[in-house]
Structure 1
Amino acid sequence: MSIGNSPEDERPFEDPSEEAPFSIGRALRQARIAAGLTVDDVSTATRVRIAIVHAIEADDFTPCGGDVYARGHVRTLARAVHLDPAPLIDRYDATHGGRPAPTPAAPLFEAERIRPERRGPNWTAAMVAAIVAVVGFVGFTAFRGGDDGSKEQVAEGATPTTGKTASPTPKTHKPVDETPEPSDSAIAAAPQDKVTVQVVAADGRSWVSVKDHTGRLLFDDLLKKGASRTFQDSQKINLILGDAGAVDLYVNGKKLNDDFQPGAVERLTYTKGDPQVG
């Protein structure tokens, strides 16, 4: 098992003067460095292209493709570096013309009243009603005819034959095949020929990226507090934890007693011979 490289060597924080204007890109960049994340880490976690991340940190929103996409990218990047996105969105609206004004609802309703839609007769409903009436008349006639015949037999003294009541056929219920989600006991009994890793966001939320031994991406998303995910592979599991201090790891049924710090980015690999950290 191995831990990957540390975040990129960033320049030290600059202490901006009180007169310097508020910069969205500077705020995102400083928060990313404080979280110990590289641009590649943020791009992998948010799926925002590296070139766009660099451009936004330089306050260049042209590559975003419009105000709607720019606001979405700013909001996504802010959450990835543990920053409140609301002030950044307000700053973007103040410097780029604000949000588009909504279309008033009253003129639309008035237009509908002026030009109402004309509907033709509903022939389908009329045909269905006619069919129902015919079927009801035929059924009523058949019922009355059967009732008169039975009365004539009783008047003539005919003894009605009572048929043998058939016993109902018992119904067999096919068992439902339900596959329960893996529990702690199931993880503890994980097969020896595979590596099983459970990630639990016990103390907070964290970005988690998981790949198998072939490099195929199994999971890449924000794991909310209290949530857990379990992964298996025949050889090894590769992890990237955006906030390793908020996560508990269970490898092959055993909990790891790690000393990850809050906000630390960890790259980990586990095999069938683990658990062991390092």
Structure 2
Amino acid sequence: MSIGNSPEEDRPPVGRALQQARIDARLTVEEISTSTRVRAPIVQAIEQDDYSRCGGDVYARGHIRTLARAVGLDGDALVAQYDEEHGGRPEPTAPATLFEAERIRPEPRRPNWTAAMVAAIVAVIGFVGFTLVSGGGGDSGKQAAEEAPSPAPSKPADKPSPSKTSDPKPSESAIAGAPGDKVTVRMTAEKGNSWVSAKDHNGRLVHEGVLKEGHSKTLTDDKRLDLVLGNAGGVKLYVNGKQVKHAGEVGQVQRLSYTRGDPEAG
């Protein structure tokens, strides 16, 4: 079946074209769902040209391209037809119906009691020295002022390291020290927002939501983590302490599975 070569008035809708190609290939909805990891209800809705379950145009375009590849159609042509039928290619926006991802907030800055204590000591010493010099006079006042202990250095207390109180992100060495008996995945959205879904080795959903740009999420499991990234190229991914160099393209829906050990070994 050819998409994009016939006149526009003869072209079937995108969903109908996908459905007919699946039937011609003698594949069931369940078989397509298993091979593409697109849930069966979403496959059925798309075949009826209902994209309300996709979570937004960005994800609808990704599903269309994935399903087209599974049934032997030209995914780019179908996506272009979808854009024509829905008013052109939209700007990527976060779907309003999804749960908001967990935000990482910096810890509140704590009062610097050490600096306050040093300042109080310096004030007391200065007051005592001034009293002795102005009241005793002569050598006795001078000697008392000279014998007064010098204040402790206050620079370390006056300039606390901001990284100890305000930086919530773990260091690269902490990521590299991921436990070897578990699978650990850390995701950071660097190029726009990304919808993220994760299941453990039992198939249980452990996380689903929008990971906003600049925010991170860390997940662990004893055996395996299955991920769906709605904007794979915009996510910086560390698996078991090692960075995954290429998880996908910007705007691409990518499905990934990781187990313990080197993510690139298998």
Provide the TM-score with structure 2 as the length reference. Answer: 0.42
Give the number of the structure whose alpha-carbon radius of gyration is greater: 1
Provide the TM-score with structure 1 as the length reference. Answer: 0.41
